[in-house]
Amino acid sequence: MLLALADTASGIIAAAPLFARAVVAPPLATDAEAEPVAGSALIAFVAYFALVVAIGLWAARRSSGGMGAFFLAGRSLNKWVVALSAVVSGRSSWLLLGVSGAAYARGVSALWFCVGYIVVEFLLFWDYARRLRRFAEIHDDLTLPDFLASRFPGNARLLRLLVVGLLLVFIPTYVGAQFSAGGKAFEAAFGMSASSGLWITAAIVLGYTVTGGFLAVSLTDMLQAVFMLVALVVLPLAAVISMGGFDALAEGLSALDPSLLDPFAISAVALAGGLAIGLGSPGNPHILVRYMSIDDPSQLRAAALVGTVWNTLMAAGALLIGLAARVAFPTQFLLATGGDPEQAYPVIASLHLAPVVYGLVIASIFAAIMSTADSQLLVAASAVCRDVVQKLLGRGGDERAMVRMSRLVVVALVLVAVPLGLSNNELILDWVLFAWAGLGAALGPTTILALYWKRCTGAGVAAGIALGGGVACWWRYVVKPGMDEPLYELIPGFAAGLLATLIVSLFTRAPAETEAQFKALRGET
């Protein structure tokens, strides 16, 4: 499998320059105000979304049988779907727009925003995911609160309430950021207002998520992973070829500022913050539920290899796009986009790609947006319907009725996320990183300890969730604004959650079932 994967990756890389030459548009003036999109580009864009909607309709009949089918696709997904779905649902618009914008502003040193999550997610796939998947199947856990309640039955109600509350605070914020990114992309690509683009993005995501559930989300994620990878290989190569090759790119960056080529032209605080992004991965449920949905947990290590190759290639492409945009448009670009470097991706695509390919590249932005927003909507809906209605209130015995309720909850969450997206005046990267930090600080250290430490207790996990999430918010809004060089809130939040879980667990009693639970986690029963 590894040789096949390597051959596939090398084939993509080897063929990309030839393909890029074929899709490069005729040379254009370096004016960042893109011409209106050609009809063929719009047709390609619409065709992509027609395919996404078709997948949602196909999956609808297979997702209405019950909660397990709607939220986990009946634990029936193979390693390829799980690997690619986990990767793209974790990246969202912040990779295509945020990381490319960071590379435009910072240069090569923006790579540290990617290194942490690539390494951490490989490790999660390798062992963490296997433990979680085994335990979840034995206890019929469909959600992350389900897992914590099964692991610590004496604190089940408290843990469900804490996690549900956390999800309902941070996930609408996260989804609102994705909708805002969609508005930006529509504005840059089609010349419409950002608010109109936001509403269109929300409507598309809502349509196929409500219709097809987790199966539709995972299958479209796999499709979107292919679109994102191709776009992130073809577009930067097309841009580099148009400016004369990689030597010309390096010379251009050096002429602007030699530090743009230095990966260590970054402060210790910024370096720590970039690497710390990886700490959020074990705390974001829209990634973790992918691990729970695989049909065979023994395949998760193969999925680790697939996911890591995909993560690495996509990160390299996003960084290269930002660097190419910096050389092509050192000042005019920022003036044309209202000072927003996060428009680098769509603007440079409009100048360097043929119309049909440009339409597909713009579709890749929406692929990134949808792959995260749809997953998060399902996570939040499952928290309300499974953890509150079924488990805490003891209602909802009819599985089909619960699926209908889940769909209504998704609609309600979208209606909450849209105003948040409309009110967003921050960079997408900043807003996404805050939501990522809140979830990561609260659930990252607690789930790791729950899976690996026998002395971990329910009281300790509850303390870690409350303090980790609370410190992340306090740091973001109280401490960080007064710092000369702000430290990413995930670092103090994760540390607080970890220490709180450790200390409280040492002074409370572990569940009586711990030994049997750890046998299940290790696959011994």
Distance CA 314, CA 345 (A): 13
* 282: DSSP letter: G
User: Taking a C-beta distance cutoff of 8 angstroms, is the pair 288, 132 a contact?
Assistant: yes
Tokens of 200: 């269109």
Measure Cα distances from 517 to 84, 151, 258, 347, 525 in Å: 29, 7, 55, 53, 9
User: Taking a C-beta distance cutoff of 8 angstroms, is the pair 493, 471 a contact?
Assistant: yes
What is the tens place of the pLDDT at every residue in 362-387? 777 777 777 778 788 888 888 898 89
How does residue 65 score in pLDDT terms, banded at 50, 70 and 90?
A: low
Mean pLDDT, the chain, rounded, equals 83
Tokens of 502: 């450790």
pLDDT for 100 = 87
What is the tens place of the pLDDT at every residue in 314-328? 999 999 999 998 888
Query: Average of pLDDT values for 40-44?
Result: 74
Identify which has the larger pLDDT, 437 or 374.
437
pLDDT for 85 = 86
Tokens of 320: 């290269």
Distance CA 359, CA 188 (A): 12
Lowest mean pLDDT among 95-104, 329-338, 364-373, 479-488: 329-338
C-beta atoms surrounding 512 within 10 Å: 10
Lowest mean pLDDT among 144-148, 180-184, 237-241, 352-356: 352-356
Q: How far is CA 141 from the centre of its chain?
A: 22
Distance CA 95, CA 369 (A): 10
Distance CA 278, CA 154 (A): 31
User: Taking a C-beta distance cutoff of 8 angstroms, is the pair 490, 436 a contact?
Assistant: yes
Q: Which residues of 374-398 are buried (b: 16+ CB within 10 A; e: fewer)?
A: bbbbbbbbbbbbbbbbbbbeeebee
pLDDT for 488 = 94
How does residue 432 score in pLDDT terms, banded at 50, 70 and 90?
A: confident
Tokens of 80: 């390829």
DSSP string, 99-166: IHHHHHHH-GGGGHHHHHHHHHHHHIIIIIHHHHHHHHHHTT--SHHHHHHHHSGGGHHHHHHHHHHH
Distance CA 119, CA 364 (A): 24
Q: Is the pLDDT of residue 10 over 70?
A: no
Identify which has the larger pLDDT, 53 or 409.
409
Distance CA 202, CA 374 (A): 10
**Helix/strand/coil for 393:** coil
pLDDT for 8 = 38
Exposed, middle or buried: residue 116 (CB in 10 Å: 0-12, 13-18, 19+)? buried
Measure Cα distances from 375 to 70, 93, 134, 361, 440 in Å: 12, 13, 22, 22, 16
Counts for the chain of helices (H) and strands (E), in that order: 22, 0
How does residue 12 score in pLDDT terms, banded at 50, 70 and 90?
A: very low
pLDDT for 181 = 80
C-beta atoms surrounding 30 within 10 Å: 11
pLDDT for 336 = 54
Query: Average of pLDDT values for 380-395?
Result: 89
Query: Average of pLDDT values for 466-474?
Result: 97
Q: Is the pLDDT of residue 23 over 70?
A: no
pLDDT for 35 = 45
Query: Average of pLDDT values for 31-45?
Result: 57
Distance CA 462, CA 505 (A): 10
pLDDT for 426 = 62
Q: Within 13 Å of residue 78, how many CA atoms lie on the same side as its CB?
A: 4
Distance CA 460, CA 466 (A): 10
User: Taking a C-beta distance cutoff of 8 angstroms, is the pair 487, 272 a contact?
Assistant: yes
Angle at 330 between CA 326 and CA 335, to 5 degrees: 115
Closest to 439 (Cα-Cα) out of 174, 218, 177, 217: 174
- End-to-end, the C-alpha distance of the chain in Å comes to 28
| Alpha-helix runs per DSSP H in 191-280 | 194-242, 246-256, 268-276
| Alpha-helix runs per DSSP H in 61-99 | 67-72, 79-93
Which residues lie below 8 Å from residue 437, measured CB to CB, with a gap of 6+?
280, 472, 476, 488, 489, 490, 493
Query: Average of pLDDT values for 98-112?
Result: 90
What is the tens place of the pLDDT at every residue in 256-287? 999 999 999 999 999 999 999 999 999 999 89
pLDDT for 333 = 57
pLDDT for 37 = 47
How does residue 220 score in pLDDT terms, banded at 50, 70 and 90?
A: confident
Query: Average of pLDDT values for 79-108?
Result: 85
Q: Is the pLDDT of residue 99 over 50?
A: yes
Above pLDDT 70, what percent of the chain? Answer: 84
How does residue 332 score in pLDDT terms, banded at 50, 70 and 90?
A: low
Distance CA 20, CA 233 (A): 9
Distance CA 122, CA 289 (A): 16
pLDDT for 468 = 97
How does residue 479 score in pLDDT terms, banded at 50, 70 and 90?
A: very high
pLDDT for 397 = 66
How does residue 59 score in pLDDT terms, banded at 50, 70 and 90?
A: low
Distance CA 95, CA 429 (A): 8
